[in-house]
């Protein structure tokens, strides 16, 4: 007997076989594409990596309570930050040494971000120079700064970034020392030449005494007054990145500094609180005076929705777009950001919300079994 369906045309799949559909697919593909020590450098956190896991788990402890019959016929994810018009509230957080993951390094990243209507925050420790990235940029981008022991070098980095077109200076404040990263120690990992910081080539390295835990370049003694000085030097809006307490967020807001909630992706202090848990108290203390950006653990569009509903102005991802860079260069970065935007649009539509302003805390309820 003939199969009654044998003459029916074959329906092609919605996406080609093997195409990454979500951020976890990109992570798995990056693990295959990268040498094991390089993948560990990207994925690893401090000590037992509890905070790395907690950042993601925090989102699963919040359940969504969608509204229905709202009559909305479209979803608008657009976001504006310091003059940058973005297609969604997803930024690319600063991550070092993109040359480890793709031959084009940060050039591919800044172009992929622009293709997706997003912006890159360029790391001080980028493998391409500030000037190269600025020349390649087609949309707004920001510069992340580690304050150097050499204040002249610090001021020069900020000047270079401003002249190359950076719109904001993001100062990392949570790294007086780097974390105890056991994956790298076990692998004996050291940055190869194509991953070393191009912006610091030829810069003097200061001698360090008193225990050997400090970086010879990064200044561990930075204070709030130094950030005031930096804002004057930069001539740009300044974020304090690495805020993990409401009182510190209040200090930043009082000084007109943007607040970037981050625990460095769990790479510095293990058992630091997940960033989503910090967010409500920070938002309450800041009280709308300055923007609040949050990173750490964003893996789905529902995560974006939850963070915005709890008061974040925008969110940032780090590891996920580097997975995309490793898998597909510029196109991989673009596709990761687009995947998050698509999921965010779906989550907003399904919760009955038409714009970011409609994402409010009442859309979330505790889910303690997670």
**Which are the catalytic amino acids?**
264
φ, ψ of residue 147 to 5 degrees: the values are -65, 125
Distance CA 12, CA 168 (A): 45
Residue 265 vs residues 53, 180, 203, 208, 307: alpha-carbon distances, Å: 10, 13, 28, 26, 16
Sort 12 into a burial class: Cβ within 10 Å, 0-12 / 13-18 / 19+: exposed
Rounded to a whole number of angstroms, the distance between the first and last alpha carbons of the chain is 51
Distance CA 308, CA 313 (A): 6
Q: What angle do CA 191, 192, 195 make, to 5 degrees?
A: 70
User: 3-state class of 239 per DSSP?
Assistant: strand
Name the one residue in this structure whose structure tokens are 């965010």.
Answer: 344
Distance CA 192, CA 179 (A): 20
DSSP letter assigned to residue 205: -
CB 269 within 8 A of CB 181: no
């Amino acid at each position: 007997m003939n199969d009654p369906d044998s003459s029916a045309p074959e329906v092609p799949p919605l996406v080609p076989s093997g195409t990454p559909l979500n951020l976890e697919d990109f992570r798995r593909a990056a693990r295959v594409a990268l040498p094991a020590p390089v993948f560990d450098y990207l994925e690893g956190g401090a000590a037992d990596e509890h905070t790395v896991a907690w950042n993601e788990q925090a989102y699963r402890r919040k359940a969504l309570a969608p509204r229905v019959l709202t009559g909305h016929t479209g979803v608008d994810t657009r976001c504006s930050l310091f003059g940058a018009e973005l297609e969604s509230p997803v930024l690319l957080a600063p991550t070092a040494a993109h040359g480890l993951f793709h031959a084009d390094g940060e050039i591919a990243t800044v172009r992929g971000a622009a293709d997706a209507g997003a912006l890159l925050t360029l790391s001080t420790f980028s493998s391409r120079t500030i000037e190269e990235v600025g020349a390649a940029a087609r949309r707004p981008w920001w510069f992340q700064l580690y304050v150097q022991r050499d204040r002249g070098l610090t001021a020069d980095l900020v000047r270079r970034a401003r002249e190359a077109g950076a719109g904001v200076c993001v100062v990392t404040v949570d790294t007086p020392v780097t974390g105890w990263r056991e994956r790298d120690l076990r692998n004996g990992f050291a940055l190869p030449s194509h991953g070393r910081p191009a912006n610091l080539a030829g810069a003097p390295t200061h001698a360090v005494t008193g225990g050997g835990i400090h970086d010879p370049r990064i200044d561990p003694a930075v204070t709030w007054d130094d950030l005031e000085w930096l804002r004057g030097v930069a001539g740009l809006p300044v974020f304090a990145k690495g805020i993990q307490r409401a009182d510190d967020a209040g200090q930043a807001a009082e000084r007109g500094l943007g607040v970037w909630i981050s625990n460095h992706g769990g790479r510095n202090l293990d058992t630091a609180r997940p960033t989503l848990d910090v967010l409500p108290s920070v938002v309450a203390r800041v009280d709308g005076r300055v923007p609040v950006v949050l990173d750490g653990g964003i893996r789905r569009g529902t995560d974006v929705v939850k963070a915005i509903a709890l008061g974040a102005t925008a969110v940032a991802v780090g590891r996920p777009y580097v997975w995309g860079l490793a898998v597909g260069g510029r196109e991989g970065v673009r596709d990761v950001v687009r995947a998050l935007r698509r999921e965010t649009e779906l989550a907003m539509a399904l919760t009955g919300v038409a714009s970011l302003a409609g994402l409010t805390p009442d859309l979330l309820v505790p889910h303690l079994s997670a």
